[in-house]
Structure 1
């Protein structure tokens, strides 16, 4: 074989140097011409690299640019690690945080190989959150502080959270969404529904794990969460399974109001998104372990095993999480000093804010 490859290499450059016919030699040794051609091409590539090193004169050129790029990469990586650590300690709802992240992305997006997805993964923030921050108008510069002689006439009102326990009632609003998971090397979909006002009692009222997302699965989760709750409001995004005819019919049968949120508005289901982050932070290490096990043992890479194992794991973790949660005490403290009628008015105002149909271009076009 080596002699045939050598003949092939010579034939590529100086065929007249050959004393024997290459095709006859291949037939005699039982080697196909196509296979020999591929081997010769690989050999020439390797030989040329070796010959270039052996015939080089002087010392090899120093890779100044490569060293500089390595230093810059190390600095950028360190800065991203610091930024990630800071973001974990800050709430993403602060406007200043969003402006800082958008400014960093605008400065770094020109770097080769840095995509928006990679930037968001490095900071552990969703891509749609960054897109929403980019669409926000810039904040006006702060006014100068009032002098001691002219104190401010207006005092800033205490900010109340949109999803605080003092403005929501259990059983009035249910948020539903889908997130991605992976177990035993199989990409999965976690479809979940949450009683937003009653999340102090259960993080999720219904969960379903499958290897795909469909209107039938979404309707199944919503039916489990909204059963015996006529008049409740279902808050979803505008994903195709959530706006499908099958899903809408299921909500009509449950006598539930459907309130899809405006496109690219993750804040509309903030409590569900936060619950997903909690679940992933707890279950992530165990699910990652199953991925590594399946990589070592390929027969375990099976959709049925992944779905069943993830369902059992999430059920156990959600029960353990609820036993150790402090949300129930927070809900009692928030609602303890509020008049019941005022709480009902606040809950109705929250339902009205969730009715975003008139403010959504996508939903308006759907009606047209």
Structure 2
């Protein structure tokens, strides 16, 4: 087997960090991590949702050594992350992670116990003969250090030949509750639209942060989308007076670097617990005692009007109308991707995040909206 340095193959990350174990992809640059090392954001950005190794090769066997770090809740069974293999645009294999380090959180006390583990090898064998483009999608829900890449034939970087889609959103965009990294809704949509995904979906951290707008301003992009609402509500961080100008400022910053790139502003998907009840969010402790994770809305609190998902959709629709001078700004009501009518057939397992089947549904619907003829991202043919 041939061992090849990894760095040249990493796509979809802002940069990588050299650790004692290997290369750790980061989705936010160091200047953001230095200025605002919020623990929630640091965990979210270090999980390589949408990040993959992309190579051209005739190899029939590929091995990737990596050292994962995963978080679990004490008393709750949660599936591990996975590594997916995509060959010439088709998902062909998935391998669930094992080993690695483990942070075990007791949600009742806030205590965290850390357990060290060993590296894990993802092995894919029996690949078709001949030259092909191989993408190894890294786990969307675990931090990883990339240790070594081995193949039975030489590998070389694949030349980028697709438009770059830069997307920002919350945990749903990062892929929460999806089983595998290629199954999160932005990945599903990117394959349908034959574009290269750069995913800035951050669990609990789509809070209209100015530094994320600056990152998006400075990143190469042919297509851009931003999805706001759920985290603003479930963290109860803003009132309407602050939220609307903040979104205007976020879009203005993006436009400073990408004045005419198609930009889709997406409002929240349907989420019954927050449609008319504000945050902050909480966890159902009775469900937790039974071994389940279920989220709740705890508002209203105080006298000042708080935001709900319904209020945010109305505000974003009005905001988009007031930016009519921008012909390349498009507003998408998130309930077109997942609405109240979907909750019966596709309920949110924890009352907040969609499962794998629903991620696929959302991804397909976004692709049909964005990449189809006449859509804001239309060009070429959908896969």
Relative to total residues, which structure has the larger helix share, 1 or 2?
Answer: 1
Normalised to the residue count of structure 2, the TM-score between the two structures is 0.19
Bigger CA radius of gyration: 1
Name the structure, 1 or 2, with higher relative contact order (CA <8 Å, separation 6+): 2
Normalised to the residue count of structure 1, the TM-score between the two structures is 0.19
Relative to total residues, which structure has the larger strand share, 1 or 2?
Answer: 2
